[in-house]
């Protein structure tokens, strides 16, 4: 079985966030890290390999600047066998559609049985990449999987919907995005971290994928950002570090605001 996992590098959620006033893009200086939601997709693949599909090869696929190599290594350490890293300056500024076009072109070159994604990227919180990629590949798509089972060339997924839980089934190949409740990703042991660099890394350009650069990146973006503004906030927030008295201070606050009698 051949599994591809699309992973994204995102600004460290614990770092200070900023959007550049000029370019309107997220400032990616400071630490970047593997999208935490994608670690659940990698863990899901590893569990399939450890269980029902031992002959599985896991390929990590990302579209990101060359500097994202560290996040690719991190994904490989967690269980990837090889990586495809689409690194091309012309891909910078891709919107959702552009990113999907690039990922789909890379995925199309090979025949993957299962293509996994995270539920969303921690920076954009968009949760639609799976639907875009699946449509471009013309394969079935299942999002927000809370569990995945494989049998007889098909995948069965339990997923939450507004009215409860659905169990859905699709023939492979299939695109599946996984919920962050599907598993508890393991931390890779040190030898796996050390070994990641020695795994096959393929760095490819848009031209090598046969992508017309004018259809992706900033040049091919189908959406545009024309300005930024501040949303109406909730007002003042009191935040304090617990020194053992926080519960008391909170209760005093609630009493003063007459929330608690």
Partner 1 sequence: MAGIAVLCEVQSGEVSRGSIGVLEEAGRMGAALGVSVDAIVCGSGLDDAKLAALGGFGASTVRVADDALLASGIAQPVVDACATAQEAGDYRYWMAAASIMTADAMAGLAARLGAGIVIDAVELHVEGGALVTRRSGLGDSVLAHCGFVSAVGVVVTRANAMAATEGNGGTAPVERFAPTFRAWSQAVTLVGHEDAVETGPDISAADVLVAGGRGLGEASGFSQIEELATAFGGAVAATRAVVDAGWYPYSAQVGQTGKTVTPKLYVACGISGAIQHKVGMQGSGTIVAINKDKNAPIFDYADFGIVGDLNAVVPQLTALVKARA
Site residues for ligand AMP per CB under 6 A: 6-8, 35, 37-38, 61-64, 99, 103, 117-118, 120-121, 124-129
Residue 9 phi, psi (nearest 5): -95, 135
Interaxial angle between packed helices 129-137 and 96-108, expressed in degrees from 0 to 180 and rounded to the nearest 10: 50
CB 56 within 8 A of CB 131: no
Q: How far is the CB of 241 from ligand AMP (least distance, A)?
A: 31
Q: Which of 3, 76, 180, 216 binds partner 1 (CB under 8 A)?
A: 180
DSSP labels for 189-212? PHHHHHHHTTS-EEEE-TGGGT--
Give the position of tokens 């994204």.
Answer: 8
Query: Is residue 20 within the footprint of partner 1 (CB under 8 A)?
Result: no
Of the candidates 204, 203, 185, the one whose C-alpha atom is nearest the C-alpha of residue 74 is: 185
For residue 52, give every residue at least 6 positions away whose Cβ sits within 8 Å of its Cβ, in sequence order, or none.
149, 150, 151
Q: Does 179 bind partner 1 (CB under 8 A)?
A: yes
Q: Is 119 in the site for ligand FAD (CB under 6 A)?
A: yes
Query: Which residues from 182-211 bind partner 1, rule CB under 8 A?
Result: 182
What's the CA gap between 201 and 203, in Å, rounded? Answer: 6
Kindly state whether residue 122 participates in binding ligand FAD, applying the rule CB under 6 A: no
Distance of closest approach, residue 164 Cβ to partner 1, in angstroms:
4
Tokens for 119, please give them. Answer: 């539920």
156 binds, among ligand FAD, partner 1, ligand AMP, none (CB under 5 to 8 A by kind): partner 1
Q: Report if residue 123 touches ligand FAD, rule: CB under 6 A.
A: no
Candidate segments 58-66, 119-127, 164-172, 191-199, binder of ligand FAD by CB under 6 A: 119-127
Contact with partner 1 (CB under 8 A) among 47, 81, 93, 128 = 128
Binding mask 173-212 for ligand FAD (x = CB under 6 A): -------x--------------------------------
* Binding to partner 1, residues 232-251 (CB under 8 A): 233-242, 244, 246-248, 250-251
Q: Considering only the stretches 43-51, 52-60, 91-99, 107-115, report the one whose residues sit in contact with partner 1 under the rule CB under 8 A.
A: 91-99
- Does position 260 interact with partner 1 (CB under 8 A)? The reply is yes
Going 93 to 96 to 100 to 103, the CA torsion angle's sign is: positive
22-to-6, 98, 227 alpha-carbon distances in Å: 30, 21, 9
CA distances from 185 to 30, 41, 43, 180 (A): 25, 9, 5, 9
| Position 83 contacts ligand FAD (CB under 6 A) | no
130 binds partner 1 (CB under 8 A): yes
Please give the residue ranges that form the binding site for ligand FAD (CB under 6 A): 119-120, 127, 144, 180
């Amino acid at each position: 079985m051949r599994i591809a996992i699309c992973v994204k590098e995102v600004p460290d959620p614990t770092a200070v966030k900023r959007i550049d006033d000029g370019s309107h893009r997220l400032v990616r200086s400071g630490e970047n890290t593997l999208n935490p939601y994608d670690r659940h997709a990698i863990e899901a693949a590893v569990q399939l390999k450890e269980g029902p599909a031992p002959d599985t090869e896991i390929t990590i696929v990302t579209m990101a600047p060359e500097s994202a190599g560290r996040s690719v290594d991190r994904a490989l350490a967690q269980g990837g066998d090889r990586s495809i890293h689409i690194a091309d300056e012309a891909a910078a500024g891709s919107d959702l559609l552009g990113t999907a076009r690039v990922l789909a072109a890379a995925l199309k070159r090979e025949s993957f049985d299962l293509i996994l994604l995270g539920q969303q990227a921690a920076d954009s919180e968009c949760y639609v990449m799976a639907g875009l990629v699946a449509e471009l590949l013309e394969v079935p798509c299942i999002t927000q999987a809370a569990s995945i089972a494989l049998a007889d060339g098909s995948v069965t997924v339990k997923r939450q919907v507004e009215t409860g839980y659905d169990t859905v089934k699709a023939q492979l190949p299939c695109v599946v995005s996984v919920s962050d409740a599907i598993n508890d990703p393991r931390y890779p042991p040190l030898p796996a971290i050390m070994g990641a660099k020695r795994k096959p890394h393929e760095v490819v350009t848009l031209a090598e994928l046969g992508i017309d650069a004018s259809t992706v990146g900033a040049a091919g973006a189908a959406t545009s950002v024309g300005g930024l503004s501040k949303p109406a906030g909730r007002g003042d927030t009191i935040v304090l570090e617990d020194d053992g008295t926080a519960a008391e201070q909170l209760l005093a606050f609630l009493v003063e605001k007459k929330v608690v009698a």
